[in-house]
Amino acid sequence: MLPLLSDFSLALLMVILCSTTFSPLMPLSLIYLREELRLERVLKAAAMEDRTVILTTLNEAWAAPDSIFDLFLESFRIGDHTHMLLNHLVVIALDQKAYTRCLAMHTHCFALLTEGVNFSGEAYFMTPDYLKMMWRRINFLQSVLEMGYHFIFTDADIMWFRNPLPHFYSDADFQTACDHFIGNSYDVQNKANGGFNYAKSNNRTIEFYRFWYSSRETYPGYHDQDVLNIIKYDPFIIEIGLQMRFLNTAYFGGLCEPSKDLNEVCTMHANCCYGLDSKLHDLKIMLEDWRRFLSLPEDLKQLRLSSWRVPQNCSLTSLRHHGLPPKNIEQEESD
Ligand SMILES: *[C@@H]1O[C@H](CO)[C@@H](O)[C@H](O)[C@H]1NC(C)=O
Ligand SMILES: *[C@@H]1O[C@H](CO)[C@@H](O)[C@H](O)[C@H]1NC(C)=O
Ligand SMILES: *[C@@H]1O[C@H](CO)[C@@H](O)[C@H](O)[C@H]1NC(C)=O
Q: Is 310 in the pocket of ligand 3 (CB under 6 A)?
A: no
Q: Which of 120, 129, 130 to mutate to test the pocket of ligand 1 (most atoms within 8 A of CB)?
A: 120
CB 193 near ligand 3, within 6 Å: no
Domain assignment present for 28: no
As a whole number of angstroms, the distance between CA 230 and CA 210 comes to 15
Distance from the CA of 153 to the center of ligand 3, in angstroms?
30
Determine the average pLDDT of the residues in 306-332: 63
Assigned domain for 18 exists: no
The reply to whether ligand 1 has any atom less than 6 angstroms from the CB of 120 is yes
11 in a structural domain: no
Distance 159 CA to ligand 3 centre (A): 21
Residue 241: inside a domain:
yes
CATH of the domain at 193: 3.90.550.10
Question: Which is the closest atom of ligand 2 to the Cα of 201?
Answer: 13
Residue 204 CA to ligand 2 center (angstroms) comes to 9
In terms of pLDDT, which residue wins out, 121 or 25?
121
Q: Is 313 in the pocket of ligand 3 (CB under 6 A)?
A: yes
Q: Please tell me the predicted confidence (pLDDT) of residue 126.
A: 59
Atom 7, ligand 3: residue with shortest CA distance = 313
Q: Which ligand is nearest to the CA of 283?
A: 3
- CB 302 within 8 Å of CB 263: yes
Q: What is the pLDDT of residues 61-87, one digit of tens each?
A: 999 999 999 999 999 999 999 999 999
Band (241; pLDDT cuts 50, 70, 90): very high
**Would you say residue 147 lies in a domain?**
yes
> Cα(153)–Cα(197) distance, rounded to whole angstroms?
5
Ligand 2 site, residue 328, Cβ cutoff 6 A: no
Nearest Cα to 264, choosing from 190, 158, 180, 167?
167
Range of the domain at 177: 45-333
Output the pTM of the full model: 0.85
| Closest-approaching ligand to the CA atom of 121 | 1
In a domain, 37, yes or no: no
Distances (CA, A) of 273 to 18, 38, 316, 321, 332: 51, 34, 8, 12, 7
pLDDT of residue 214: 96
Residues β-bridged to residue 193: 177
> Is residue 21 in some structural domain?
no
1, part of any domain = no
CA of 281 to the centre of ligand 3 (A): 8
CB 290 within 8 Å of CB 161: yes
Distance 198 CA to ligand 2 centre (A): 20
pLDDT score of 316 more than 70? no
241 lines ligand 2 (CB under 6 A): no
The number of folded domains in the chain is 1
Percent of the chain with pLDDT over 70: 81
Q: Whose CA is nearest to atom 6 of ligand 2?
A: 203
